[in-house]
Amino acid sequence: MQLLACPLCGAPLTRDSATLVCAQQHRFDIAREGYVNLFPAHHRGSRNPGDEERMVVARRRFLDAGHYAPLCAALTETLTAACGRIDAAVDLGCGDGYFTATLASAAAHTYGIDVSKPAIRAAAKRHASIAFVVASSRRLPLIDAAFDAATAILAPFDSDIVRVLTNDGVLVRVSPGPEHLRALRDLLYADARPHRRAPVQLENLAHATERLVGFDFSTNPAERADLMAMTPLLYRTRNDQRARALAPDHLTIEAGFWIDVFRKQD
């Protein structure tokens, strides 16, 4: 199933050998890893947007250790309850595809979108059955009203998601719960505060359900280094703060996530 649209003119893309082409003859090569770059240079805010290679590698090591497996289980339950059968789904800000694979287990056709080329390259190498695309969630290179479900898991998204959802389509958004990573943040900051909840009112999307998921996981210093490297904590902390966080041989950390379901309004 081909549900991609040209980022230059919006026309549907079709495959011609190792290239995607639209009716206006705009052409986009498919990389040997299987992904396609639909993020034109004049749409980017920087030369190399999104996560850099070291963040991608750190995230893969951390997630592969299974620390967030309970979140995957909760996502599967939420998608099944909200959607039932899913024909087409898209994961916004998909990173290296760890959570996209969970979405793919519930959908017949799955797309993953991220602005980071290193992340998409890594995702495509690992999950050949998923269509991965370098693109921005602000300008989704997807055809209109084609997707039954979309996920935004600790990732930004924009109002363009409404356009690509079917009339009864849903957006499942995962955002940090109030005490997410509290034990780690207490080591980093003297005045760590609860996370503020993301707004539950979204334009043209009706808030349907909510769920707060919490669980603990144990870490060693190397795992905490990866956890910090894969999040904004890497740039929001000083060397001495990170040294404090890495000092304990073992640290149990609580993960907490809001899972909100929004349904497209007529």
Give the residue among 153, 24, 37 at the shortest CA–CA distance from 100: 153
Give the pLDDT confidence score for residue 94 in this predicted structure: 97
Give the pLDDT confidence score for residue 231 in this predicted structure: 87
Give the pLDDT confidence score for residue 134 in this predicted structure: 97
Mean pLDDT of 218-240: 93
Give the pLDDT confidence score for residue 27 in this predicted structure: 96
Q: Which domains does the chain have, with CATH numbers?
A: 48-264 (3.40.50.150)
Write the secondary structure of the chain as one string of H (helix), E (strand) and C (coil): CCCEECCCCCCECEEECCEEECCCCCEEEECCCCCEECCCHHHCCCCCCCCCHHHHHHHHHHHHCCCCHHHHHHHHHHHHHHHCCEEEEEEECCCCCHHHHHHHCCEEEEEEEECCHHHHHHHHHHCCCCEEEECCCCCCCECCCCEEEEEEECCCCCCHHHHHEEEEEEEEEEEECCCCCHHHHHHHCCCCCCCCCCCCCECCEEEEEEEEEEEEEEECHHHHHHHHHCCCHHHHCCHHHHHHHHCCCCEEEEEEEEEEEEEECC
pLDDT tens per residue, range 120-155: 999 999 999 999 999 999 999 999 999 999 999 999
Q: Is the pLDDT of residue 49 over 70?
A: no
pLDDT tens per residue, range 62-77: 999 999 999 999 999 9
Average pLDDT, the chain: 93
Mean pLDDT of 198-212: 92
Q: Is the pLDDT of residue 45 over 80?
A: no
Q: What is the pTM of this model?
A: 0.94
pLDDT tens per residue, range 174-189: 999 999 999 999 999 9
